Every structure is written in structure tokens, then in C-alpha cells.
Chain A
Amino acid sequence: EAQVTQNPRYLITVTGKKLTVTCSQNMNHEYMSWYRQDPGLGLRQIYYSMNVEVTDKGDVPEGYKVSRKEKRNFPLILESPSPNQTSLYFCASSFLGGTEAFFGQGTRLTVV
């Protein structure tokens, strides 16, 4: 089954404790991206990658890191989480060229 898998689905952590949210897709998509969803703001892009070892900032990259060492995986790293990073996070993947994006099921992160 074609899918984008994020883990964990729910996470509560404390300020400053490094964490990683994993994202994996099995559709051989070149493009992968991370978004955060906040009430009243819709989804905003954090980082994206157009291929292995190629990553770039989206609209709200501060406080986040990513890496793309393999085509299928695109982890999101919060090295020192803060309460303002409490949000719902989505990973997405697609073929290049404005095609439909497939989204993971979301990770609800709470930083206390």
C-alpha cells in the first residue's frame, strides 16, 4: 500500500530535550516536505527536499533541522524544542512537477 508513515503519532516532551520525528514513504517520490498546522494559520512549510542530499528552507524553518540521506526517509529534528513548537506536524511526499502530495497521518507534538 502506498503511504507516508510518520512516527510517533503523539509526543509530549520537555523544553530543550532533542527529539526526532521520522517520516518514510514507499512511493519512490523525489520530493518530501514538512509542514506544521496551527489553529487559524493553516499549514505552513518548514523544510523541503527535492532529492537525496538536497534540502531547503520553507516559510518557518527556525528551530528545525532535516536531513535526506535516503530517498525514502526525511526526518525532522528539533534540537532544543520550545513551547512555541507545540503543533501538529505533517510530512508529505510527491513526484516533482506540481503533482498531488501524499501526507502522513500527522504527529501531534506538545512541548512543556
Chain B
Amino acid sequence: AQKVTQAQTEISVVEKEDVTLDCVYETRDTTYYLFWYKQPPSGELVFLIRRNSFDEQNEISGRYSWNFQKSTSSFNFTITASQVVDSAVYFCALSGETGANNLFFGTGTRLTVIP
């Protein structure tokens, strides 16, 4: 069974602070995919990143970075120098080998960036 845990329900930071959103996953599959999606107040789901289980390289995209560690089954997301526009709910998701596109979502972390 696939499972994603986002233990942080809500986080508040002051603008320009760095913040890390945690994601821990469980799967028995050898091949799997991890995702992060952003849901701004307007409600749509915005794709941020996809990682496959064979690629443990960390990734940086502007102020965003992701740390994938298979040893701890974690795929954490860091926002550097946060901005008010980063305020949103962030979802971590997992899909596995069987039904490879079926996404299992965590319960989300609501990030509020205070100006």
C-alpha cells in the first residue's frame, strides 16, 4: 500500500524566512514517483516537481529546492526567502509501479507567509 505523510498541518513564517515542508512516504514498490503540487487560494493544483525512485539528486529551481532521501523515505521541499505569493497549501504525492499514474496524496501543509 502507498502512503504519504505530511505531519505539518499549518506553518506560518515571516516573509524572507526559509521554510521546509516535510514529506514522508511508504511504498513497497521498487519503481515509484514522487510529486509536489501547490494549491494557491484560487484553488487550482499547480505541478511543481516530479522525481523517480532512481534519481536521488537534489533539485533546485529558483527559490525552491527538494531533498530526496530514500534511506529515510523522505522528499522534503524548501522555500528560500519566502514571499507572500508562496502562501498556499502544498501537497506531496506518490505513485507506484502498479497503476503507475494513480496518485496518493498527503493531507497537505498550509503555508502562510506573513508580510
Give the B interface residue count (CB, 8 A). Answer: 26
With an 8 A cutoff between CB atoms, is A1 at the interface? no
Determine whether the beta carbon of A41 is less than 8 Å from that of B107: yes
With an 8 A cutoff between CB atoms, is B8 at the interface? no
Minimal Cβ-Cβ distance residue in B for A59: B104
Asked, given contacts A40-B107, A42-B106, whether A106 binds B44 with beta carbons under 8 Å apart, the answer is yes
With an 8 A cutoff between CB atoms, is B35 at the interface? yes
Interface size class for chain A? Answer: 20 to 34
Using a CB-CB cutoff of 8 Å, which residues 21-65 of chain B contact chain A? 31-33, 35, 37, 43-45, 47, 50, 52
Determine whether the beta carbon of A103 is less than 8 Å from that of B44: yes
Report A-chain residues with C-beta under 8 Å of the C-beta of B91.
42-43
With an 8 A cutoff between CB atoms, is A53 at the interface? no
Report B-chain residues with C-beta under 8 Å of the C-beta of A58.
102
With an 8 A cutoff between CB atoms, is B114 at the interface? no
Bound CA–CA A45/B102 (angstroms): 8
Determine whether the beta carbon of B101 is less than 8 Å from that of A102: no
Classify the secondary structure of A's interface with B. strand
Report A-chain residues with C-beta under 8 Å of the C-beta of B106.
42
Determine whether the beta carbon of A100 is less than 8 Å from that of B35: yes
Determine whether the beta carbon of B45 is less than 8 Å from that of A103: yes
With an 8 A cutoff between CB atoms, is A109 at the interface? no
Using a CB-CB cutoff of 8 Å, which residues 35-78 of chain A contact chain B? 35, 40-45, 48, 50, 56, 58
Determine whether the beta carbon of B102 is less than 8 Å from that of A48: yes
Minimal Cβ-Cβ distance residue in B for A98: B33
Q: List, sorted by A's number, 8 A–B pairs whose CB atoms are closer than 8 Å.
A: A33-B102, A45-B103, A48-B99, A92-B103, A96-B100, A98-B33, A103-B45, A106-B45
A residues whose Cβ falls under 8 Å from a Cβ of B = 31, 33, 35, 40-45, 48, 50, 56, 58, 88, 90, 92, 94, 96-103, 105-106
Q: Given A42-B6, A105-B43, list of 12 further CB < 8 A pairs?
A: A33-B103, A41-B107, A42-B107, A48-B99, A92-B103, A98-B32, A98-B95, A100-B50, A101-B47, A103-B37, A103-B44, A106-B44
